Amino acid sequence: MAGSGRTEEKTMGWMDLFAFGRAEIAALHKTWIAFFITFYVWFNMAPLVTTIMKDTGLTLDQLKVLAICNVALTVPMRVVVGMLCDRIGPRKTFCIVMWAMAFPCIGFAFASTYTEMLIARLILSAVGTGFVVGIAMTSLWFKPRDAGFSQGVEAGLGNWGSSLAAITMPILALTVFDSWRWAVASSGIVMFAYGVYYWFAITDGPEGTARPIARKAQAIEVSTWGDLVIAILWTMPIWGVLSLLVRMVTKKGYITADVSYMLYAVIAIMVVYQALALIKVNVPILKKGVPEDDKYRFTQVGTLCASYVVTFGAELAVISMLPMFFQKTFSLTPVMAGLFGSMFALMNFFSRALGGYVSDRTPTRKLAHMIYLAGVAGGFALMGMITPDWSLVMAVVVTIICAMFVTGGCGTTFALVPFVKRRITGNVAGYAGAYGNVGAVVFTSAYVTMTDSEFFLMLGGTAAAVFVFCLFFMKEPEGAFAKEYQLSSVDKEMMAGGH
| Inter-residue contact 162 to 40 (CB < 8 Å) | yes
> Residue 174 above 80 pLDDT?
yes
| Max mean pLDDT range (164-173, 350-359, 365-374, 412-421) | 365-374
> Is the pLDDT reported for residue 103 higher than 60?
yes
Q: What is the mean pLDDT of residues 55-65?
A: 85
**Single-letter amino acid code for the residue at 2:** A
Give the pLDDT band of residue 390 (cuts 50, 70, 90).
very high
Nearest Cα neighbor of 277 from 75, 488, 83, 74 is 83
- pLDDT of 306 reads 97
3-state helix, strand, coil in the chain (%, to 5): 80, 0, 20
pLDDT > 90 in the chain, percent: 51
The mean pLDDT of 127-138, rounded to a whole number, is 92
Give every CB contact of residue 251 below 8 A, 6+ residues apart in sequence. Answer: none
Could you tell me what percent of the chain has a pLDDT over 70?
A: 96
Lowest mean pLDDT of 24-38, 110-124, 164-178, name the range: 164-178
Q: What is the pLDDT of residue 9?
A: 57
Give the model's pLDDT for residue 455.
94
For residue 289, give the DSSP letter: -
Per-residue pLDDT at 322: 87
DSSP H helices in 362-485? 365-383, 392-414, 425-447, 452-473
- The angle at the Cα of 416, spanning 81 to 162, to the nearest 5 degrees, equals 55
Note the pLDDT of residue 488.
72
DSSP, collapsed to helix, strand or coil, labels residue 206 as coil
Give residue 316's pLDDT band: very low, low, confident or very high (50, 70, 90).
Answer: confident
Nearest to 270 by CA among 245, 238, 302: 238
Q: What mean pLDDT do residues 4-21 have?
A: 67
Residue 47 has pLDDT above 90, yes or no: no
> In terms of pLDDT, which residue wins out, 214 or 285?
285
- The pLDDT of residue 497 is 59
* Structure-model confidence comparison of residues 459 and 440, the more confident one: 459
Cα–Cα distance measured from residue 456 to residue 379, given in angstroms and rounded to the nearest whole number = 9
Separation of alpha carbons 233 and 242, rounded Å: 16
Question: What's the whole-number average pLDDT of the chain?
Answer: 88
- The CA distance from 116 to 369, in Å, is 44
Q: Are residues 310 and 459 in contact, defined by beta-carbon separation less than 8 angstroms?
A: yes
Q: If you average pLDDT over each of 53-57, 226-230, 483-487, which comes out highest?
A: 226-230
> In the prediction, which pLDDT does 2 show?
38
173 pLDDT above the threshold of 80 = yes
> Which residues contact residue 212 at a Cβ distance below 8 angstroms, ignoring those fewer than 6 apart?
422, 423, 487, 491, 492, 494, 495
pLDDT of 409 higher than 50: yes
In the predicted model, what is the mean pLDDT of residues 112-126?
91
Phi, psi of 300 (to 5 degrees): -65, -40
CA–CA gap between residue 350 and residue 344 (Å, rounded): 11
Least confident of 227-236, 324-333, 381-390: 324-333
Contacts of 229 (CB under 8 A, 6+ apart): none
Please give the single-letter amino acid code of residue 211: R
SS3 255: coil
Mean per-residue pLDDT for 228-253?
Answer: 89
- What is residue 7's predicted lDDT score, i.e. its pLDDT? 47
Has residue 127 got a pLDDT over 80?
Answer: yes
Say what the pLDDT of residue 392 is: 92
What pLDDT, on the 0 to 100 scale, is given for residue 252? 76
pLDDT at 98: 97
* Long-range pairs for 442-451: beta carbons < 8 A, 24 or more residues apart: 442/241, 442/244, 442/309, 442/313, 443/313, 443/314, 443/316, 443/317, 444/316, 444/317, 444/320, 445/244, 445/248, 447/317, 447/321
More confident residue, 91 or 337: 91
Give the mean pLDDT of 380-400. Answer: 94
- Supply the pLDDT for residue 249: 82
User: Is pLDDT at 489 greater than 70 in this prediction?
Assistant: yes
Report the C-alpha gap between 172 and 193 in whole angstroms.
18
CB 462 within 8 A of CB 454: no
Cα(293)–Cα(488) distance, integer angstroms: 5
Max CA pair span of the chain: 67
pTM recorded for the entire structure: 0.88
Q: What is the pLDDT of residue 323?
A: 83
Answer whether 308's CB lies under 8 Å from 410's CB: yes
Instruction: Kindly list the structural domains of the chain, giving each domain's residue range(s) and its CATH number in brackets, ordered by start.
Output: 17-211 (1.20.1250.20), 298-499 (1.20.1250.20)
pLDDT class for 358, splitting at 50, 70, 90? very high
Q: How far apart, in whole angstroms, are the C-alpha atoms of residue 126 and residue 199?
A: 20
Query: How buried is residue 175: exposed, middle or buried, by Cβ count under 10 Å (0-12/13-18/19+)?
Result: exposed
